[in-house]
């Protein structure tokens, strides 16, 4: 068991790293399959080799980062966070679209290399939030105490929305809630924090919104012994404000974003336009059946009905070619990785480590839910890649950095 | 309770695990539903996604003229489309394509709007690219990513604008047409006849498209043939032979005054077949093939000369003096006048009737006249009296029987009906007073409520050229000649009508300068006042011609808008048309120097001319 010995020597978490590497190799295989089309396209043909090179680079970076002392991460948290904000700010000013994400200014070009600062920003935000929350030893008991963490996440989140990249923005929301949850914020408090979001969505109908506000007031009343009066007022005002700005906000969305949200409600509304992705993805997954059409043999993909099959819709290729069995095993693999992260957070030697681990859990869980959920229409299409499976160099690299940080902080020295 | 003590972390971890299991479990259940429970319906959709029944266009039936010359054929056509791509790169490609394909900025915007609407479908750039354009694109193929060039049959009209008003044109079937029963079984995008012969004989010319099954990808690119289902081959459309004489039609296009508008209809006296049907100005039906350019279409519609108007079928003009032959025919048929009888009131430049003085066109008058000379001189006073003898009611009734209120029933779509009183109640309904005998005076010389198409006037004179009967003119001749109308006139009286018209082209006749060396040409001039320009009348001439001593073989009706003079402008066109046709029919070499007038102007001897 030389491998086992090597893991122990580096004090790495063998099940987690092993599962991730297997998943990443599976991703390379699926990216190879994504390039197997009846009419080969230069966009996808042979890119599995690039992904393999990136995987090797990521593994090298992993071995380096996995040996960095834990203190360094704590020290680096705030500078990294500041750098992330600067880079995100630059994308808003001079970012460009890339590959299958043409409409989103989320890429920066530097010395001939393109990368997505938002990937780095996720990690930096997790670290910064962990620094902030680990500094205190008691439970955040009031809403006011949630303002600082919310701001830490809100800044990069706002910049990401300006790009505009809704999927990544949702991941930031997940990071915030994961951190607060792990820091012990009461569920009711988190619900109040999330309530303006619900108000935003429910304001589509005046009667529904009115009923929601009544329920909210009732909830705040039951929860009154935990709240200051000013907080109560703030929550209700925030909800009312959310309901008011919903329409202007909706109008300020890009037309394609509006279309995607509308076809999420009714995919048949525009089957050849905005509904195309969802319909073709569902047909691909559904036609895969129990055992799939066979590796590289998916017709939806081969005949190019499935768009973005190497990035956002890689999971649809899994569903079409490997069937329900393939999707089940893939989801179980993610479940295993997520469970392992939670377990590591539980056993973490110090609060900072636990918060980092749980933040990474939150980010990855959001990626899996949003990406896999959109392929069968459970969630709107927001253009978010699937961790370790989707094609993309900087995304893979950053995911392995997160993995390295996870296994490093878990060891506690 | 400490925030991060072991018990608190255990509880939170458990909560997180429950959330993970529940949410991923819901996801897995969703996949179970889609992939296992509903798999068969998705599998069906996946199969039908890539199987496409492609229509194999049936070659449209060709059009030939009476001598077998090609009028409309099918040639290979090219369509240029772009594969789906982001709008910015489509715009870049279109801008690169702009010089070879002559795309305007407005056109590019229209194409891009279509691409935004259907971002995953190929977008059509040019439905009818020329071979040169395709070559230019092919040569620089690498510069134009995603360009798709497809080939299919395309209609070509050999003579273009010259035959446009006969052939009509083809283009894609419209949504409104698809909703109609006669287009049942047609599919969107199919090419159908829109006007003229193309529309009239659509069901014969169309044939039946075949079907082949192919596997296609999402961009509509054919990836391979599908072996599972056999191909259904196309049934070609039926070729049609028209009675039209293409060279005669082209000859008319050549001799018709360049700057003028009007129409020419030439009928075969034998069977009523249409030898030529010409309307000027015209349009090029080839422009419609593969989709007409929007600017061109707007221009055609906005043009004050109205090139899309088929003046032969839809131009309705007061017949003027050409109608006097109808009046004379009706009078002879009813026996109210003898051909050699002098009319009781001589022409002194007009005549008094009731409280009104009716003028003759010639202020100096014509004196005493018989029918034939009255036709030669087109004497209004003679025909006023003829109208009185017939009476208003019989005149109205006979006009209806001769079809002046209806359509000829030519095998072309959209023919306009003539304008003519239905009965005596017309004046009451239209003007609020009872028709008086004075109306008969106006009606007798082709004025009053009377307007006819050139086609109708040709059909009426067809009866004079034949035995008094005229079948509906036909562009595609069938074996059975349908009954049309009959003048019900004796051969002797018919000969008197012809004699009168013959004298029009004899010395002393107004159209003497249009007489011909070889042929017995007879005809009647007419001028029709029009509301657009009261100073410049439309000029009519309707003529019959055949070998001397024989029956007429061709009838030609000509209207020249604002032509002023029937004898000066319209008659030479009739003469030259008839001469061209008859010379070729009887094997006499064609000469561009045809009428007496042309011989005189050129100083050429005109042996047939007789001088008083």
Contacts of B20 in chain A (CB under 8 A): 335, 338-339, 342, 365
Cα(A195)–Cα(A198) distance, integer angstroms: 5
Categorize the per-residue pLDDT at A1 as very low, low, confident or very high, splitting at 50, 70 and 90: low
**DSSP assignment of B267-288, as one string?**
EETTT-BEEEEEEES---GGGG
A272, A289, A331 ranked by CB distance to B28: nearest: A331
Q: How far is A229 from chain B (nearest CA, A)?
A: 25
Provide the token pair at A226: 């935990």
pLDDT at B42 over 60: yes
Contacts of A322 in chain B (CB under 8 A): none
* Per-residue pLDDT at B13: 93
Test mutation, B2, B3, B114, chain A, max A CBs within 10 A: B3
A315-324, B290-299, B330-339, B444-453: range with lowest mean pLDDT: B290-299
Instruction: Say whether both B326 and B205 belong to one domain.
Output: no
Over chain A, what is the mean pLDDT? Answer: 87
B12 and A184 in contact by Cβ < 8 A?
yes
Test mutation, B22, B27, B219, chain A, max A CBs within 10 A: B27
B24 and A334 in contact by Cβ < 8 A?
yes
Q: How far is A353 from chain B (nearest CA, A)?
A: 11
**DSSP assignment of A126-158, as one string?**
HHHHHHHHHT--S---SGGGGHHHHHHHHHHHH
Question: Does residue A3 form part of some domain?
Answer: no
CATH number at residue B63: 3.90.1310.10
| Whether the Cβ atoms of residue A236 and residue A213 lie closer than 8 Å to each other | yes
Q: What angle do CA A177, A327, A321 make, to 5 degrees?
A: 140
Question: Does residue A238 form part of some domain?
Answer: yes
**Of B241, B272, B295, which closes a domain?**
B241
List beta partners, residue B123: B82
* Per-residue pLDDT at B106: 85
Instruction: Say whether both B493 and B548 belong to one domain.
Output: yes
Question: Does residue B296 form part of some domain?
Answer: no
Contacts of B43 in chain A (CB under 8 A): 286-287, 289
Categorize the per-residue pLDDT at B175 as very low, low, confident or very high, splitting at 50, 70 and 90: confident
For residue A204, give its domain range.
Answer: 9-411
Categorize the per-residue pLDDT at B612 as very low, low, confident or very high, splitting at 50, 70 and 90: very low
Provide the token pair at B612: 């008083």
A346 and B4 in contact by Cβ < 8 A?
no
- The tally of domains found in chain A comes to 1
B3, B36, B223 ranked by CB distance to A138: nearest: B3
A324 and B10 in contact by Cβ < 8 A?
no
- Where is pLDDT greater, at A23 or B510? A23
Question: Does residue B10 form part of some domain?
Answer: no
| Whether the Cβ atoms of residue B577 and residue B584 lie closer than 8 Å to each other | no
Instruction: Say whether both B236 and B253 belong to one domain.
Output: no
A334, A365, A378 ranked by CB distance to B30: nearest: A378
Contacts of B4 in chain A (CB under 8 A): 137, 350-351, 354
Question: Does residue A144 form part of some domain?
Answer: yes
Question: Does residue B290 form part of some domain?
Answer: no
pLDDT at A221 over 50: yes
- The tally of domains found in chain B comes to 2
Over chain B, what is the mean pLDDT? Answer: 88
pLDDT digits (tens, 9 = 90+) for B447-505: 989 999 999 999 999 999 999 999 999 999 777 777 889 988 999 999 999 999 999 99
For residue B181, give its domain range.
Answer: 53-241
What is the chain A residue with the closest CA to B31?
A324
pLDDT digits (tens, 9 = 90+) for B223-282: 666 666 667 788 889 999 999 999 999 999 999 998 899 999 999 999 899 999 999 999
Instruction: Say whether both B447 and B564 belong to one domain.
Output: yes
- Quick check: helix, strand or coil at residue B592? coil
Contacts of A102 in chain B (CB under 8 A): 86, 88
Size of interface A-B (CB pairs under 8 A): 154
* Per-residue pLDDT at A112: 66
Question: Does residue A105 form part of some domain?
Answer: yes
B34 and A285 in contact by Cβ < 8 A?
yes
Residue B102 DSSP class: T
Question: Does residue B353 form part of some domain?
Answer: yes
Question: Does residue A109 form part of some domain?
Answer: yes
What is the chain A residue with the closest CA to B21?
A335
Q: How far is B203 from chain A (nearest CA, A)?
A: 33
What is the chain A residue with the closest CA to B9?
A346
List beta partners, residue B63: B72, B240
Q: How far is A256 from chain B (nearest CA, A)?
A: 10
- Averaged pLDDT for residues B95-118: 83
What is the chain B residue with the closest CA to A302?
B217
CATH number at residue B321: 3.40.710.10
Cα-Cα end-to-end distance for chain B: 138
Provide the token pair at B107: 């056109």
A289 and B4 in contact by Cβ < 8 A?
no
A280 and B218 in contact by Cβ < 8 A?
yes
């Amino acid at each position: 068991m030389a491998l086992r010995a090597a893991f122990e020597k580096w004090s790495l978490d063998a099940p987690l790293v092993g599962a991730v590497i297997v998943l990443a190799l599976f991703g390379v295989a699926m990216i190879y399959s994504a390039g197997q089309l009846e009419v080969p396209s230069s966009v996808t043909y042979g890119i599995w080799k690039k992904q393999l090179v990136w995987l090797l680079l990521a593994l090298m970076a992993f071995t380096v980062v996995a040996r960095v002392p834990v203190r360094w991460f704590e020290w680096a948290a705030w500078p990294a966070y500041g750098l992330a904000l600067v880079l995100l700010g630059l994308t808003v000013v001079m970012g460009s679209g890339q590959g299958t994400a043409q409409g989103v200014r989320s890429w920066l070009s530097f010395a001939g290399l393109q990368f997505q600062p938002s990937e780095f920003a996720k990690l930096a935000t997790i670290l910064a939030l962990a620094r902030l929350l680990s500094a205190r030893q008691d439970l955040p008991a009031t809403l006011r105490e949630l303002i600082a963490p919310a701001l830490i996440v809100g800044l990069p989140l706002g910049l990401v929305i300006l790009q505009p990249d809704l999927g990544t923005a949702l991941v930031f929301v997940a990071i915030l809630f994961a951190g607060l949850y792990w820091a012990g914020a009461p569920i009711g408090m988190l619900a109040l924090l999330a309530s303006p979001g619900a108000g935003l969505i429910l304001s589509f109908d005046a009667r529904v919104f009115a009923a929601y506000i009544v329920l909210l007031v009732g909830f705040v009343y039951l929860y009154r012994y935990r709240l200051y009066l000013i907080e109560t007022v703030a929550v209700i005002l925030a909800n009312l404000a959310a309901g008011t700005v919903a329409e202007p906000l909706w109008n300020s969305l890009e037309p394609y974003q509006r279309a995607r949200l509308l076809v999420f409600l009714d995919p048949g509304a525009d089957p050849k336009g905005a509904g195309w992705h969802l319909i073709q993805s569902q047909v691909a997954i559904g036609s895969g059946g129990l055992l799939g059409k066979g590796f590289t043999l998916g017709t939806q993909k081969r005949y190019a009905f499935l768009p973005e099959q190497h990035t956002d819709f890689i999971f649809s290729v899994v569903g079409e070619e490997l069937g329900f069995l393939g999707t089940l095993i893939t989801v179980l693999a993610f479940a295993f990785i997520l469970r392992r992260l939670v377990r590591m957070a539980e056993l973490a030697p110090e609060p900072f480590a636990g918060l980092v681990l749980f933040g990474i859990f939150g980010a990855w869980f959001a990626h899996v839910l949003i990406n896999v959920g959109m392929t069968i229409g459970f969630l709107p299409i927001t253009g978010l890649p699937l961790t370790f499976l989707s094609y993309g160099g900087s995304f893979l690299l950053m995911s392995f950095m997160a993995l390295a940080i996870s296994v490093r902080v878990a060891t506690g020295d | 309770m400490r925030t991060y003590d072991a018990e608190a972390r255990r509880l939170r971890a458990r909560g997180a695990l429950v959330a993970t299991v529940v949410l991923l479990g819901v996801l897995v259940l969703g996949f179970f539903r889609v992939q296992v429970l509903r798999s068969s319906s998705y599998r069906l959709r996946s199969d039908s996604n890539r199987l496409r029944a492609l229509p194999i266009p049936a070659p449209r039936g060709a059009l030939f003229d009476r001598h077998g010359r090609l009028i409309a054929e099918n040639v290979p056509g090219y369509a240029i489309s772009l594969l789906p791509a982001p709008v910015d790169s489509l715009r870049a490609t279109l801008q690169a394509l702009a010089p070879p394909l002559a795309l305007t900025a407005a056109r590019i915007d229209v194409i891009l709007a279509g691409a935004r609407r259907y971002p995953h479908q190929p977008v059509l750039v040019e439905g009818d690219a020329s071979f040169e354009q395709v070559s230019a694109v092919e040569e620089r193929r690498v510069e134009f990513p995603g360009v798709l060039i497809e080939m299919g049959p395309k209609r070509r009209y050999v003579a273009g604008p010259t035959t446009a008003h006969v052939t009509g044109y083809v283009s894609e079937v419209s949504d409104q047409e698809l909703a109609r029963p006669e287009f049942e079984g047609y599919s969107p995008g199919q090419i159908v006849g829109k006007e003229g012969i193309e529309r009239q004989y659509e069901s014969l010319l169309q044939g039946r498209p075949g079907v082949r099954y192919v596997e296609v990808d999402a961009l509509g690119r054919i990836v391979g043939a599908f072996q599972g289902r056999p191909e259904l081959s196309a049934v070609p459309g039926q070729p049609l032979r028209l009675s039209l004489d293409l060279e005669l039609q082209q000859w008319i296009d050549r001799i018709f005054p360049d700057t003028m508008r009007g129409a020419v209809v030439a009928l075969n006296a034998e069977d009523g077949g249409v030898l030529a049907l010409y309307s000027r100005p015209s349009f090029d039906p080839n422009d419609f093939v593969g989709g007409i350019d929007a600017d061109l279409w707007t221009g055609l519609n906005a043009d004050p000369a109205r090139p899309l108007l088929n003046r032969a079928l839809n131009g309705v003009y007061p017949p003027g003096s050409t109608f006097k032959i109808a009046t004379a025919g009706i009078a002879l048929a009813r026996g109210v006048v003898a051909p050699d009888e002098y009319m009781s009131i001589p022409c002194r430049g007009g005549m008094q009737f009731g409280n009104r003085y009716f003028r003759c066109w010639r202020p100096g008058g014509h004196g005493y006249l018989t029918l034939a000379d009255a036709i030669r001189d087109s004497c209004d006073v003679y025909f006023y009296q003829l109208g009185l003898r017939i009476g208003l009611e019989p005149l109205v009734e006979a006009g209806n029987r001769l079809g002046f209120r209806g359509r000829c029933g030519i095998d072309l779509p959209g023919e306009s009906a003539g304008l003519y009183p239905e009965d005596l109640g017309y004046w009451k309904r239209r003007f609020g007073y009872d028709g008086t005998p004075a109306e008969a005076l106006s009606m007798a010389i082709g004025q009053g409520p009377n307007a006819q198409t050139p086609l109708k006037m040709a059909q009426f004179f067809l009866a004079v050229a034949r035995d008094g009967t005229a079948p509906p003119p036909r562009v595609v001749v069938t074996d059975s000649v349908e009954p049309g109308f009959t003048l019900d006139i004796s051969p002797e009286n018919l000969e008197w009508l012809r004699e009168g018209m013959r004298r029009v082209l004899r010395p002393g006749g107004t159209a003497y300068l249009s007489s011909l060396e070889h042929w017995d040409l007879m005809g009647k001039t007419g001028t029709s006042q029009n509301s657009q320009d009261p100073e410049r009348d439309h000029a009519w001439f309707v003529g019959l011609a055949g070998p001397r001593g024989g029956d007429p073989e061709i009838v030609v009706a000509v209207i020249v808008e604002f032509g002023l003079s029937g004898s000066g402008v319209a008659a030479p066109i009739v003469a030259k048309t008839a001469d061209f046709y008859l010379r070729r029919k009887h094997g006499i070499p064609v000469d561009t120097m045809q009428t007496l007038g042309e011989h005189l102007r050129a100083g050429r001897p005109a042996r047939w001319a007789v001088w008083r």
